[in-house]
Amino acid sequence: MVTRRIAIVGGGIGGLTLAAALAQASGRGDGAGRFEVVVHEAQPERASLGSPLGLWPDALRALERIGARGAVEAAGFRPGGGALRDLPGRARVSAGGVDLLMVPRPALLAALTSALTYAVRDAMPGGVRMLHEEVLAPDRLDADLVIGADGVRSRVRGLVHPAAAQRRETPYVALRGSCGTVPEEAVGEYWGPGVLFGLVPVGQERGYWFTSHRSDLRPEPLDVAAVLAQARERFRGAAPIIGQVLRDAGVGTATTATRIWVTPPMPRYVRGRYAVIGDAAHAMTPNLGRGACAAIVDAVTLADAIRAGRPRAWQMRRLPITQTERVASSVLMRVALRERWGGAGQRPRAGG
């Protein structure tokens, strides 16, 4: 029976999902061969960090394939609805009945780790090893396949498509944080001239909020206090709940500030013994809430393709979908953050 050695660079959402799916494939004993998988993760401590993530039905179906869906749904919360609002808070488009599950990133990673543990236990000899190390030269890894699940800063991406080796900066920054109970009538996104604010419940008594606006603040890591001050000024006079959330946010809390980076266009995800998934292949602005979902679906479907010996066929299916999502997210970001709005979308007066 043939054993294929697979190196996964990155032990985040995509990397853990792929490792679990490959371990399951090794345990089927159906003559397709087995895999020796090594996951290289540079910062394992980051598993306890991160904001809630939205998972759509396709991602949940993929998680069911690896036995992680139950744990993820148990840790998640379904907001159930919301609306697109103008800055004063008036609902313009209803989004009732949205089938979205909000899951804390640490809980998602814990569920994936658990699924991987069970898959390895049931797999044929070979299994999965986790190495806590940074991979500076993925071309030197001793493996039949090297999969880049190493995010927007991917070092594997340049081996797949050299012209896209460097991540691409956007003019946008994002603030993210947690808050208390979110009133049902406040759930949704608020769009105004050059600003975006979102508010969603992630539990009966917990909420998650995020903002985005254009900013030339530097260097990275961004100063949270400076980005908050900028946001408070940009949202001056907006809906009262926005002002309250931004006033309550502060340095030393769970509030984070980041520049938004994306992956350049990719004409391929597979080249020779190299492949990329998730943000390494198609990091996008967060407007469609597809980042984590796309990484999970990439991983499970790529495991199927590797097992069948057809990774290029996987590329032909996934590339058009994910590159379209990447472009659509960027377009939606530009629409949401356009500087001039007419009618009800105009910037509210201070105190309005």
| 19 contacts 37 by C-beta, under 8 angstroms | yes
Task: Pick the more confident residue, 91 or 251.
Answer: 91
Split at pLDDT 50, 70, 90, the class of 135 is very high
For the segment 159-187, the average pLDDT, to the nearest whole number, is 95
CATH number for the region 3-77+103-167+262-333 comes to 3.50.50.60
In whole angstroms, what is the distance from residue 58 CA to residue 290 CA? 10
Q: Of 105, 114, 124, 107, give the one whose Cα is nearest residue 37.
A: 124
Please report the pLDDT score of residue 280 as a whole number: 98
Split at pLDDT 50, 70, 90, the class of 189 is very high
Residue 211 forms beta bridges with which residues? 175, 197
Split at pLDDT 50, 70, 90, the class of 288 is confident
Split at pLDDT 50, 70, 90, the class of 343 is very low
For the segment 184-209, the average pLDDT, to the nearest whole number, is 93
pLDDT of 121 strictly over 80? no
What percentage of residues in the chain have a pLDDT greater than 90? 77
Query: pLDDT, tens digit, for every residue of 62-83?
Result: 999 999 999 999 999 998 788 9
Assign 222 to helix, strand or coil.
Answer: coil
Split at pLDDT 50, 70, 90, the class of 314 is very high
Please report the pLDDT score of residue 47 as a whole number: 86
Residue 172 forms beta bridges with which residues? 214
Within this chain, domains 3-77+103-167+262-333 and 170-261+334-345 share the same CATH topology: no
Structure tokens at 139: 């071309």
Q: Where are the domains of the chain?
A: 3-77+103-167+262-333, 170-261+334-345
Split at pLDDT 50, 70, 90, the class of 254 is confident
Please report the pLDDT score of residue 226 as a whole number: 95
Split at pLDDT 50, 70, 90, the class of 18 is very high
CATH number for the region 170-261+334-345 comes to 3.30.9.30
What percentage of residues in the chain have a pLDDT greater than 70? 91
Length of the chain: 352
Model confidence, pTM? 0.92
| 227 contacts 102 by C-beta, under 8 angstroms | no
Assign 150 to helix, strand or coil.
Answer: coil
Return the HEC string of 280-345.
HHHCCCHHHCCHHHHHHHHHHHHHHHHHHCCHHHHHHHHHHHHHHHHHHHHHHHHHHCCCCCCHHH
For the segment 275-302, the average pLDDT, to the nearest whole number, is 96
Question: Which of 167-171, 282-286, 348-352 is least confident?
Answer: 348-352
Split at pLDDT 50, 70, 90, the class of 252 is low
Please report the pLDDT score of residue 344 as a whole number: 39
Split at pLDDT 50, 70, 90, the class of 3 is confident
**Average pLDDT for the chain:** 90
Structure tokens at 196: 């975006």
Query: pLDDT, tens digit, for every residue of 34-58?
Result: 889 999 999 988 888 888 999 999 9
pLDDT of 328 strictly over 60? yes
Please report the pLDDT score of residue 345 as a whole number: 41
Please report the pLDDT score of residue 348 as a whole number: 37
Split at pLDDT 50, 70, 90, the class of 350 is very low
pLDDT of 186 strictly over 70? yes
In whole angstroms, what is the distance from residue 243 CA to residue 236 CA? 7
Structure tokens at 63: 């998680």
